[in-house]
Amino acid sequence: MDIFNRNNRSTKGDHFSDLMFGRKEEPEPQKEESEVDYLQLMVNVETLMGLYDQYKPTIQKMNPLITKFLKKD
């Protein structure tokens, strides 16, 4: 290792530099296309909508209480 060459501060075998300065994270190669499972996405959306319909009456009952709390007369 050349101590005067500051452009190449760390190499893969340089444990001292890794300890003192930390390892540089190598950027992960980005995928060109993201693979989305649309069937699973639609199942998740359907589940969320079902839960919303199930808890909608409770949310409507609590709405005046929340509004009164946030109003601060």
Paired tokens of 50: 């079902």
Check pLDDT > 90 for residue 40: yes
Its pTM stands at 0.41
Give the tens place of pLDDT for each residue, 6-39: 555 545 667 777 777 777 777 777 766 778 899 9
Is 21 in contact with 9 (CB distance < 8 Å)?
Answer: yes
Give the pLDDT of residue 55.
94
Helices (H), 1-73: 15-21, 38-71
Is 10 in contact with 21 (CB distance < 8 Å)?
Answer: yes
Check pLDDT > 60 for residue 2: no
What percentage of residues in the chain have a pLDDT greater than 70? 77
Paired tokens of 15: 């444990």
